[in-house]
Chains A and B, each alone.
Chain A
Amino acid sequence: MIQNLVDGILVGSVLSLGAIGLTLVMHMLRFANFSHAELLSIGAYAALVFDAVFSALLPPLAASIGPLSMTWALVLALVAAVGVTGASALAIDRLVFRRVRAKGSELSMVFASFGVAMIIRNVMGLVFGLGTHLYSKDIVFAVVVSRDPMLLIKPDQVFVLGAALLVMVALHLMLSRTTLGFALRAVAENPTLAQVNGVNLGRMIALVWVLGGGLAAIAGVFYGLTNQISPMIGRDLVLPVFAATIVGGIGSVYGAVLGGFVVGIAANLALAVLPSGYSPSVPFLIILAVLLVRPNGLFGEARA
């Protein structure tokens, strides 16, 4: 039981990172972006490519850091992947979403996002193949924290949790302490009023995409580190990430963080109760339960 709880927290940290980006985009642009999870996949593959490049250019970088399967090359690759994914998110907005936004309704945006998701997924499959990739083939063994009750934790997962929390704190400081953060929140609150006060709407939208893409890239790499990389990452994660966003309440960054952990823990604990064949139903059940009890999510506010 304690093992399931800890595993849930570790899985939850990745979901939280993905959900933060999604909740920002959903709040600001007011549409359910079903292609958001594909940004995780772009991030994971971008890091895979950069990791190979950096390792080849500077072989000393290919050594593992301490007990982790992570290498310095992958750390650099992660930074590059954040850039690439942020840029991709922006490019997708310019190519598709901005045009649809100008002409169509919110519903057209949702359908466009389905299309974008499929295109990204299949392009990934075309370029990298449908098989699975790994950052490192070595298996990092879990450390026995306690024998009774049994508790095993992998160093990679502790690192991922720590790094994810660090990113969240940094984001919190940015949103609550900087002018940029105020401007972002103002636009999310009321775009017209924000513009009247001199906030550049176009630039804020671009910032949201870059921010969301960057966070998605980090989540994607962390997911690849603790699982594996395949073109289906987006398909596998879209539902848990959406569940996390809805549980937290659309627009609430802190809600998204909490939502990620709630979904991660619930999915892991569910196995203690449900037969394993039914575990995919858990995110659906969470969405339903939250919508029934608190239609705006745990932290969301009703919007006129």
Chain B
Amino acid sequence: MTDHTIRRAGRFALAMALATTALTGAAFAQDCTTKIGAVLPTSVDWGKPIAETAQFVVDQVNEAGGVQGCKIEMILRDTQVDPKVGVDAAKALVDLDGVQVLIGAVSSGVSMPILTSVTVPAGVAQFSCCSSSGAFTALAKEGKTKGLWFRTFATSNVQAVVGAKVAKDKGYKSVAVLYKNDDWGQDIGKLVAEHLQAQGITVTASVAINDAQPSYRAEVTEALAGQPEAVYLALYPTEGISAVREWLSLGGTQNMILANSLKSDEFRDAVGLQYLGSTQGTDTSSPRVASADAFVASYKARFNAEPNGPGLANSYDATMIALLAMEAAGKDAKGADIAAAVARVTDPAGTPVTADAAGFAAARDVLAGGGTVLYRGATGNVRFDENGDVSAPAVIWSFTETGTQEDTYITLEEVDALVGGSN
């Protein structure tokens, strides 16, 4: 080693020392940043608002001073509703950005491989706004989620039981079920068939609809064979449009019952409102409580629009609970600590806090004093069961010229009664 390189190494060491001092100084000045990851389908029309709502939470928390004195930076990546793309995105966030909290994904079929192949192996806490498949419950029961999985969206069972109620109320005697051939679709398809049969309705056929097929004619023909009075559709708009247009053109009934995934303008426009007159859909809903109204008001103030898209309130709560849990878990907490701290921020006996910047600041004080918090969120008082699941009230809706309208509201108690009565 020459004198020259030694001098250079010395200068480098000095520079490093200075930099380190500068960094420590910055930390005292509360100018640090903590990264969290988000994998959401931003390239589809209904996915973007979900991501914007998550960012809204991050902005509010930063306004309240951030988590553990550090600003939160949410790194958002697109899943394109594709499991492969979603897993790649999640892997990059976990491995390269080192996030300990992952928000997402929307579809169960995307969330599931992320959970099993990315977040659980890496010990990262995952909060999904919108995945509803019962497969997660089953996985949690087997202990394979390691308590790292939470979702603010009720399981498909709520929608399935309400879908069967619609069929019964309308007096349909026979129903065919078309379901998307992924985790979510298989789950809700199976559940709705069970609930329909429990109501004494014949299920003439349960037909799986695969993604990306050149034609759905054979599937539709199979479903038509039993000449059902109505059809239950658990599909996404892309294949839903194709299958339903085929269904109608082959003389299938217009008595359709839709899962919330088809609550989309794209679907309504491509099929045509004139064919959707006797169609009703189901969806889970925010409870009619003050904290939910407060969310609607703050959303309108921020985005100048009603929070009408699917999963917005759920996205808000998923993100807020994740950040509250990070605050509760302390500085530089790992995913498992954050997941464990969720119970401290959703404690029914805790101090109630609101879903906004002030609520977050209030929660910080309580948590710093060793107390627990009851988060009153956009979807009501969120309470996870041991599998990371929540229940929810439901609505029955139908399409209108401008979008959708609510026909019936079913409270949490009524949903629980329906579920209990059907099982």
A binding-site residues for B, Cβ under 8 Å: 3-4, 7-8, 10-11, 14-15, 125, 130-132, 134, 137-142, 144, 150, 152, 154, 223, 226-228, 230, 232, 235-237, 240, 267-268, 270-271, 275-277, 279-280
B contact residues around A240 at 8 Å (CB): 214
A contact residues around B209 at 8 Å (CB): 276
Q: Given A7-B221, A137-B270, A139-B272 in contact, is the A131-B213 Cβ separation under 8 Å?
A: no
Whether B242 lies near A276 (C-beta < 8 A) is no
Chain A: minimal CB distance from B155 (Å): 22
Whether A130 lies near B44 (C-beta < 8 A) is yes
Chain A: minimal CB distance from B402 (Å): 17
Q: Given A3-B221, A276-B219 in contact, is the A130-B43 Cβ separation under 8 Å?
A: yes
Whether B270 lies near A134 (C-beta < 8 A) is yes
Whether A142 lies near B43 (C-beta < 8 A) is no
By beta carbon, the residue of chain B nearest A280 is B210
- 17 pairs across A/B with beta carbons < 8 Å? A3-B221, A7-B217, A130-B43, A130-B80, A131-B266, A132-B241, A137-B270, A139-B272, A139-B275, A152-B250, A232-B212, A236-B214, A237-B214, A270-B218, A276-B222, A277-B208, A280-B212
**B198 interface residue (CB < 8 Å to A):** no
A145 to B218, CA, bound (A): 17
Having A4-B221, A240-B214, one finds 14 other A-B pairs with CB under 8 Å, namely A11-B214, A15-B214, A130-B80, A132-B270, A141-B249, A142-B249, A142-B251, A150-B224, A227-B214, A236-B214, A271-B221, A276-B209, A276-B218, A279-B213
**Bitwise interface map of B from 205 to 229 toward A, beta carbon under 8 Å scored 1, else 0:** 0011110111101110110110000
Whether B219 lies near A279 (C-beta < 8 A) is yes
User: Which size bracket describes the interface of B in this complex?
Assistant: 35 or more
A160 to B98, CA, bound (A): 54
Within 8 A of A (CB), among B166-216: 181, 207-210, 212-215
Whether A228 lies near B241 (C-beta < 8 A) is yes
**B245 interface residue (CB < 8 Å to A):** yes
By beta carbon, the residue of chain B nearest A268 is B218
**B238 interface residue (CB < 8 Å to A):** yes
Whether A268 lies near B217 (C-beta < 8 A) is yes
By beta carbon, the residue of chain A nearest B240 is A132
Whether A4 lies near B218 (C-beta < 8 A) is yes
Most buried by B among A132, A154, A276: A276
B contact residues around A228 at 8 Å (CB): 241-242, 245, 270
By beta carbon, the residue of chain B nearest A226 is B215
Whether B249 lies near A271 (C-beta < 8 A) is no
**B414 interface residue (CB < 8 Å to A):** no
Whether A131 lies near B221 (C-beta < 8 A) is no
A contact residues around B23 at 8 Å (CB): none
A152 CB contact (under 8 Å) in B208, B212, B251 = B251
**B248 interface residue (CB < 8 Å to A):** yes
Chain B: minimal CB distance from A113 (Å): 19
A227 to B44, CA, bound (A): 20
Whether A142 lies near B250 (C-beta < 8 A) is yes
B contact residues around A232 at 8 Å (CB): 212
Within 8 A of A (CB), among B77-110: 80
A3 to B223, CA, bound (A): 13
By beta carbon, the residue of chain B nearest A228 is B242
Whether B266 lies near A132 (C-beta < 8 A) is yes
Most buried by A among B43, B245, B248, B269: B245
**Bitwise interface map of B from 225 to 266 toward A, beta carbon under 8 Å scored 1, else 0:** 100000000000110011001001111000000000000001
A contact residues around B275 at 8 Å (CB): 139
A70 to B271, CA, bound (A): 17
B contact residues around A267 at 8 Å (CB): 214, 218
By beta carbon, the residue of chain B nearest A10 is B217
B contact residues around A125 at 8 Å (CB): 43
